Amino acid sequence: MKNLSFLDKIIFLFNSLSAAMLLLSYLLPHVAPKNFALLSVLSLAVPMLIILNIIFGVYWLLKVKKQMLLSLFVLFVGYKYVSSLYKFSSSTNIENDSNISVMNYNVRLFNVYDWIENDQITEEIMTFIKQEDPDVISFQEYHPNEAVDTLMYPYKYEKLNGTRMIHGQVIWSKFPIVNSGSIEFQNTANNAIYADIVKANDTLRIYNVHLQSLGINANVKELQKERSEKLLQRVSTTFEMQQDQAELFVKHKAESPYKMIICGDFNNTAYSYVYKLIKDDLVDTFEAAGNGFGRTFNFKYFPVRIDFILADKAFNVNNFKTFDKKLSDHYPILTKISLD
């Protein structure tokens, strides 16, 4: 510190703070929100903390200062966190006749409230789906309307609610659905649904999970207007609700007799308690076959991944892709998997 300029001392102070917060965040998947709700909020900041520590590390490296060791050490300790944020390898793309393509997409009610200045959102989403032609689609915040085209999908399970605005979770499939149902969450419109599909001689369970929404505006300027104390309290309460929902879901999941694929909008990151609880020993298909940031939520300035497709370890993950389609506040994701 003695050989640092006054400015560099200030920079290293912020470096130390961000490194300490990132190191603390490594505990978050193991801390139930109900035990320490305010700490769990830190999981939302992990992508930013990783990027900050990379920037600090590069800064000190260019200046040939030993202070670079702080961020490098913290990043090395949490290398799995870094790889969950950004995949440096190229995307896997293995063509296999046994591939099943599965898409997950939160369509935000097909823009029924005109959040996006485009009155053809439903038609454009349908065109996109026809182009990609997935075998199975899991929708969150689905809203039926006359522009929705389901002709390619003869098998469907829809769990909708509401009076003034009908909406909910949906699974569409090209393969027969032999069983389906809903896992009802308490005091919310969110829920989880499942459909057992049959492909050849295999019966597979598809889950569609939509955990409690944080209610965070993706517009940073709008977010800054909200009082920090109120925001923290709301997010903390939401994380506690998510814990209840995830625990209820995991009980149902444990009784599944079939290999499973879990799709959904978890409204939380891969650094959270609920993600770890739901994932357990399943494979995150982005980590297995994706590349880049894998960003799924249109939060300005920060790459946030809150939508997931998790697959049973028996599957080979042959492809993963995030689509840069700005037709919702979420981006669609797709994976291709096989059993051989």
Q: Burial letters for 70-107: b for 16+ Cβ neighbours within 10 Å, e otherwise?
A: bbbebbeebeebbebbbbeeeebeeeeeebbbbbbbbb
Per-residue pLDDT tens for 60-116?
Answer: 999 999 999 999 999 999 888 888 888 887 788 888 889 999 999 999 999 999 999
User: Which residues, including other chains, have CB under 8 Å from residue 286's CB and lie 6 or more apart?
Assistant: 87, 294, 305, 308, 309, 320, 322, 333
In angstroms, rounded to a whole number, what is the distance separating the alpha carbons of residues 308 and 48? 20
Domain of residue 260, CATH code: 3.60.10.10
Q: Extract the tokens encoding 152.
A: 């390619």
124 and 80 share a domain? no
Judge whether residue 215 has pLDDT over 90: no
Q: Extract the tokens encoding 225.
A: 């207007």
Give a yes or no: residue 21 inside a domain.
Answer: yes
pLDDT for position 226: 56
Q: Terminal CA-to-CA distance of the chain, rounded, Å? A: 57
205 - beta bridge partners? 196, 260
Give a yes or no: residue 94 inside a domain.
Answer: no
Cα 96 to chain center, whole Å?
26
Quote the Cα angle for 258-269-130, to 5°. 60
Report the domain count for the chain: 2
54 and 173 share a domain? no
Strands 307-311 and 316-322: unpaired
Give a yes or no: residue 162 inside a domain.
Answer: yes
Give a yes or no: residue 93 inside a domain.
Answer: no
Per-residue pLDDT tens for 7-27?
Answer: 999 999 999 999 999 999 999
Range of the domain at 255: 100-338
Give a yes or no: residue 211 inside a domain.
Answer: yes
Give a yes or no: residue 92 inside a domain.
Answer: no
Find the mean pLDDT for residues 243-261. 98
pLDDT for position 287: 95
205 and 247 share a domain? yes
223 pLDDT tier (thresholds 50, 70, 90): very low
| Mean of the per-residue pLDDT values of the chain | 92
199 and 57 share a domain? no
79 and 119 share a domain? no
pLDDT for position 219: 56
Q: Which residue has the higher pLDDT, 311 or 89?
A: 311
Give a yes or no: residue 201 inside a domain.
Answer: yes
196 and 132 share a domain? yes
Using only C-alpha atoms, the chain has a radius of gyration, in whole angstroms, of 21
185 and 47 share a domain? no
63 and 106 share a domain? no
Q: What separation in angstroms does the CA of 73 have from each of 23, 47, 81, 93?
A: 10, 17, 13, 33
3-state secondary structure of 113: coil
124 and 265 share a domain? yes
Per-residue pLDDT tens for 124-176?
Answer: 999 999 999 999 999 999 999 999 999 999 999 999 998 788 999 999 999 99
